[in-house]
Chains A and B, each alone.
Chain A
Amino acid sequence: MKKILLISALLLSSFLTFSQITISDSQLFGSTRNLAVGVDFGQLTNTVIEKEYIISNPTKTDMVITNVDIPEGFGVVIPQKTIKAGTFVKIKVLAYKDYIKDENTDLMKTLLVTTEYYTYEGKVSTIQVINLKFVK
């Protein structure tokens, strides 16, 4: 009986000490998420090509577009920095053939849009990865 008790205690203590708690975390709060999507510009011409891209806010609080990481030869226009809860904003992405220095003809570049919103747990930053596909 003593042995059984001892083994049980040992098992329980080792389980409690070494077992890892598995957290299925969407990392939504207090962290940065990456979401990958894209815009296809097709064949670039000598004039600027303008495309719209929707940044949506599925959260229940207002979201702010804080900054963008624009690839070479591209431009971004943000008509509205604050995206109200449950709504979206259409940003403009501009492609300039002359400013894209890569020699390759079939290319893809990445535009990063950082948004922020606050929850009771703190600030949430989201980096949206927008793949810009084009043929030069």
Chain B
Amino acid sequence: MKNLLLIVLLFAFTSSFGQITTTNDQLFGGTRPVEKANFHDFGVVSEATQYEFIISNSNKVPISIKTTEIPEGYGVVVVDKVIKPNSVGKVIIKVFPEQIVVKGDFEKSIKILSEYEALGEKVTNDIIFTIKGKIQ
């Protein structure tokens, strides 16, 4: 009984350090939860399909798209490498069912590192797009 209590207490204690998972673009200094604009549900995917995500830049300096972390079997097309101030850029996420080994439901994140210069210093931010669906 004592051991059980100890385990429960230990679990409660460690869970207090748990991190809140937020899919965010920390572009403007804040952490935001998953936004509709950063999320897309492909539904049932039986053939190659794609979705265009929009990255908006309301900064006063241009944003550059740097590195991208792509999940296995998915594709990323960079339409706009540099996004001018007060304009939008596009990134296309492609799903290739034949490339994906594990069929069924999926939920994946595509992490894009963006960069801009502020006061002579380079500032990097993660932009995370989340996609879900079902591979048939």
Contact = CB atoms under 8 A, between A and B. Distances in A.
A46 B36 CA distance: 32
Chain B interface category by residue count: 20 to 34
Given A67-B68, A68-B68, A69-B67, A77 B81 contact: no
Contacts of A80: 72
A30 interface: no
Given A77-B94, A78-B72, A80-B72, A96 B66 contact: no
Chain A at the B interface: mostly helix, strand, loop or mixed?
strand
Interface in B32-88: 65-82
B79 A77 contact: no
B74 A70 contact: no
A70 B75 CA distance: 11
Contacts of B67: 67-69, 112, 114
B107 to A, nearest CB: 17
Contacts of B73: 77-79
Most buried by B among A74, A79, A94: A79
Nearest 4 Cβ contacts at the A-B interface: A75-B77, A72-B81, A77-B75, A67-B67
Given A67-B70, A96-B79, 8 more contacts: A68-B68, A68-B70, A70-B77, A72-B79, A72-B81, A76-B68, A81-B71, A114-B67
Interface of B: 65-82, 92, 94, 96, 99, 113
